[in-house]
Amino acid sequence: MIKAITGTRDILPSDIPKWNYLEKIVSEVFRNFNYKEIRTPVFEETSLFARGIGEATDIVSKEMYTFIDRGGTSVTLKPEMTAGVVRALIEHSLDKKQSVNKLYYVSPMFRQERPQAGRFRQFHQFGAEALGSHDPMLDSEMIIMAYDIINKLGLKNLTVKINSLGIPQSRENYKSVLKKFLEKHFNSLSPESKKRFDTNILRIFDSKEEQDQKIMADAPLLINYLDDESIQHFEKVKSYLSSAGINYDVDPKLVRGLDYYSHTTFEIVSGSVGSQSSLCGGGRYDMLAKELGGGDIPGVGFAAGIERILLACENENSLNLPEEKIDLYIVSLDKNLLVETFKLALELRRRGLTVETDYLSRSVKAKMREANKYNAKFVLMIGGDEFQKGELVLKNMSNGEQHSIGKNELENLVNKIKGL
RNA sequence: GUGACCAUAGCUCAGUUUGGUUAGAGCAUCUGGUUGUGGCCCAGAAGGUCAUGGGUUCAAGUCCCAUUGGUCACCCCA
How confident is residue A342, by pLDDT bands cut at 50, 70 and 90? very high
Scanning residues 229 through 268 of protein chain A, those with a beta carbon under 7 Å from any atom of strand B turn out to be 256-258, 267
Scanning every strand, the nucleotide with its C1' closest to A385's CA turns out to be B36
Residue scoring higher pLDDT (A180 or A138)? A138
| The amino acid at A3 | K
How confident is residue A199, by pLDDT bands cut at 50, 70 and 90? confident
Q: How far is CA A297 from the centre of its chain?
A: 25
Cα separation of A11 and A13, whole Å? 7
Q: How far is CA A81 from the centre of its chain?
A: 11
Find, among A351, A369, A347, the residue nearest to A360 by Cα: A369
| The amino acid at A236 | K
User: Tell me, in Å, how far CA of A292 is from C1' of B75?
Assistant: 29
User: Tell me, in Å, how far CA of A399 is from C1' of B44?
Assistant: 30
User: Tell me, in Å, how far CA of A320 is from C1' of B76?
Assistant: 33
Confidence (pLDDT) at A330: 97
The reply to whether the CB atom of residue A397 sits less than 7 A from any atom in nucleic acid chain B is yes
Nucleotides of B under 7 A from a protein CB: 1-3, 29-33, 36-39, 69-78
Q: Is A131 helix (H, G, I), strand (E, B) or coil?
A: strand
User: Tell me, in Å, how far CA of A390 is from C1' of B44?
Assistant: 40
State what percent of residues in chain A have pLDDT above 90. 77
**Which ranges constitute the DSSP H helices of A127-167?**
136-152
**Percent of chain A that is helix, strand, coil (3-state, to 5):** 45, 20, 35
Locate CATH 3.30.930.10 in chain A.
Answer: 16-167+227-316
CA distance to A60, A274, A292, A332, per residue, from A340 (Å): 61, 55, 63, 9
Scanning every strand, the nucleotide with its C1' closest to A200's CA turns out to be B76
Under CATH, which architecture does the A326-419 domain have? 3-Layer(aba) Sandwich (3.40)
Say yes or no to pLDDT of A204 above 90.
Answer: no
Confidence (pLDDT) at A402: 94
Which CATH class name applies to A16-167+227-316? alpha beta
Confidence (pLDDT) at A257: 67
Average pLDDT, chain A: 93
Q: Is A406 helix (H, G, I), strand (E, B) or coil?
A: strand
Identify the residue whose Cα has the smallest distance to the C1' of B33. A365
Locate CATH 3.40.50.800 in chain A.
Answer: 326-419
User: Tell me, in Å, how far CA of A171 is from C1' of B65?
Assistant: 55
Say yes or no to pLDDT of A205 above 80.
Answer: no
Say yes or no to pLDDT of A280 above 70.
Answer: yes
Phi, psi (rounded to 5 degrees) for A12: -80, 165
Confidence (pLDDT) at A136: 97
> A213-222, A299-308, A378-387: which has the minimum mean pLDDT?
A213-222
pLDDT in tens, A243-271: 999 999 999 888 776 778 889 999 999 99
Confidence (pLDDT) at A188: 79
The reply to whether the CB atom of residue A378 sits less than 7 A from any atom in nucleic acid chain B is no
User: Tell me, in Å, how far CA of A6 is from C1' of B57?
Assistant: 38
Number of H helices, E strands in chain A: 16, 16
User: Tell me, in Å, how far CA of A331 is from C1' of B33?
Assistant: 21
User: Tell me, in Å, how far CA of A25 is from C1' of B37?
Assistant: 41
Confidence (pLDDT) at A11: 95
pLDDT in tens, A139-169: 999 999 999 999 999 999 999 999 999 988 8
User: Tell me, in Å, how far CA of A400 is from C1' of B47?
Assistant: 34
Cα separation of A414 and A310, whole Å? 36
Number of other CB atoms surrounding residue A297 within 10 Å = 23
Report the greatest alpha carbon distance in chain A: 97
- Are A302 and A146 spatial neighbours (Cβ–Cβ below 8 Å)? yes
Scanning residues 112 through 141 of protein chain A, those with a beta carbon under 7 Å from any atom of strand B turn out to be 113-120, 123, 125
Residue scoring higher pLDDT (A204 or A356)? A356
Cα separation of A276 and A295, whole Å? 36
The reply to whether the CB atom of residue A381 sits less than 7 A from any atom in nucleic acid chain B is yes
Residue scoring higher pLDDT (A328 or A207)? A328
Scanning every strand, the nucleotide with its C1' closest to A268's CA turns out to be B78
The reply to whether the CB atom of residue A310 sits less than 7 A from any atom in nucleic acid chain B is no
Q: Is A38 helix (H, G, I), strand (E, B) or coil?
A: coil
User: Residues A96-111: what's their mean pLDDT?
Assistant: 97
Say yes or no to pLDDT of A209 above 80.
Answer: no
CA atoms lying within 13 Å on the CB side of residue A199: 17
Confidence (pLDDT) at A179: 85
User: Residues A312-322: what's their mean pLDDT?
Assistant: 92
User: Residues A305-320: what's their mean pLDDT?
Assistant: 94
Scanning residues 186 through 215 of protein chain A, those with a beta carbon under 7 Å from any atom of strand B turn out to be 192, 196, 203, 206-209
The reply to whether the CB atom of residue A392 sits less than 7 A from any atom in nucleic acid chain B is no
User: Residues A201-224: what's their mean pLDDT?
Assistant: 79
CA atoms lying within 13 Å on the CB side of residue A418: 11
How confident is residue A105, by pLDDT bands cut at 50, 70 and 90? very high
Say yes or no to pLDDT of A210 above 80.
Answer: no
H/E stretch holding A45: strand A43-45
Cα separation of A166 and A170, whole Å? 6
| The amino acid at A172 | E
User: Tell me, in Å, how far CA of A374 is from C1' of B27?
Assistant: 18
